[in-house]
Copies of this chain bind each other. A is one copy, B any other.
Amino acid sequence: MSAEQRTEISELGEFGLIRRLTEPFTVQHPSTVLAVGDDAAVIQYEAGRHTVITTDLLLEGIHFDLMYVPLKHLGYKAVVVNLSDVYAMNAVPRQITVSIGVSNRFSVEALEELYEGIRAACKKYQVDLIGGDTSSSVKGMVISVTAIGETDANRLVRRSGASVNELICVTGDLGAAYLGLQLLEREKRLFLENPKLKPDLEGQAYVVGRQLKPEARRDVIAWLQQAGILPTSMIDVSDGLSSDVLHLCQASGTGCKLYEEKIPVSDDAYALALKFHLDPITCALSGGEDYELLFTIRQQDYEKIQNHPDISVIGHMQEAAAGSVLITKSGKEHPLTALGWNAFPKA
């Protein structure tokens, strides 16, 4: 944010602000019939397509801390986490709406930064901004994003389709976003104690990037289609592997067996976890915000997937009665529990 310029939101008014923020956006899809500027937006997909809709509410002080989250990154992430949910249905996102509530602490220039991040995500993932709402808030920033996407009816993948003996796969690596958050929180504490201190994030670009600028796995969704693989169930890893695999199990009526040694953790995340005296696997199981895809495939698809550099087979589904368990490196069996991020922490 340039220190030189500060335009008050009240100078533009609600409609002037919407115009200023949304004008730089261009419509990329013929399915976007009508974008910002009417009572509602209008889309039209080809006949026979399913429309997929997901929405997330992000609140300052709960989901993000503007002390270390740049507004541009925040805008980018707010979009990406919703797109990730669309991909997790094996669908392709096409449109988003973005609503914001902001206090007069924020200038028009600050909101332009936020929307620059939103625009970067729209460009990268080829989605159109088609609507939203702007309002003042008493205090703090509120962002509500709705993402809309499409898929062939017969390629939709729910959480509920997994069967016993199917393989459990996860993309990328897990736990780094959580460790990035711990690092940023530590630097914030140190800064608050001694404001002269410069944040020390050297060599931590990977984990910090995973926290501040996550990406959705569009590449994997495209690859699965090319490879002729239709997952039987899928979810994105937002709450943590434990919590999310239990969602698949619960929806599918199965149990699962995961192998600790198969769970992908990056070298950077592993080293940082040890530095923080944390168990790297616990970070992967309970950390959340990785936005990787967790899905099940039929055994006969194993050959197609085994050499993909970014997909790990971490276990398999089993009978519900056998429970949902983790087999440790030492061969012990532990029940999986959902220790993931809780939106309602006990006071």
User: Footprint of B on A, CB under 8 Å?
Assistant: 8-10, 12-14, 17, 33-34, 37-45, 47-57, 59-63, 85-86, 88-89, 91, 95, 97, 99-101, 104, 130-140, 142, 144, 146-149, 153, 156, 158-160, 234-236, 251, 342-347
A57-B131 contact given A37-B251, A139-B139, A158-B34, CB 8 Å threshold: no
Copies of the chain in the assembly: 2
Cβ–Cβ < 8 Å partners of A101 in chain B: 57, 59, 62, 142
A344-B14 contact given A40-B91, A101-B62, A144-B99, CB 8 Å threshold: yes
Please state if A54 and B37 are interface contacts (CB–CB under 8 Å): no
* Chain B min CB distance to A33 (Å): 6
* Chain B min CB distance to A22 (Å): 14
Please state if A44 and B49 are interface contacts (CB–CB under 8 Å): yes
Please state if A137 and B38 are interface contacts (CB–CB under 8 Å): no
Q: What's the Cα separation between A40 and B159 when bound, in Å?
A: 10
Cβ–Cβ < 8 Å partners of A149 in chain B: 40
Cβ–Cβ < 8 Å partners of A156 in chain B: 33-34, 42
* Chain B min CB distance to A66 (Å): 13
Please state if A55 and B89 are interface contacts (CB–CB under 8 Å): no
A343-B57 contact given A39-B85, A88-B39, A159-B39, CB 8 Å threshold: no
Pick the most buried of A95, A132, A133, A158: most chain B CB atoms within 10 A of its CB.
A133
Please state if A136 and B54 are interface contacts (CB–CB under 8 Å): no
Please state if B44 and A131 are interface contacts (CB–CB under 8 Å): no
Please state if A55 and B142 are interface contacts (CB–CB under 8 Å): no
Which single member of B33, B34, B235 contacts A39 (CB below 8 Å)? B235
Cβ–Cβ < 8 Å partners of A45 in chain B: 51
Cβ–Cβ < 8 Å partners of A133 in chain B: 55-57
Cβ–Cβ < 8 Å partners of A99 in chain B: 55-57, 144
* Chain B min CB distance to A330 (Å): 31
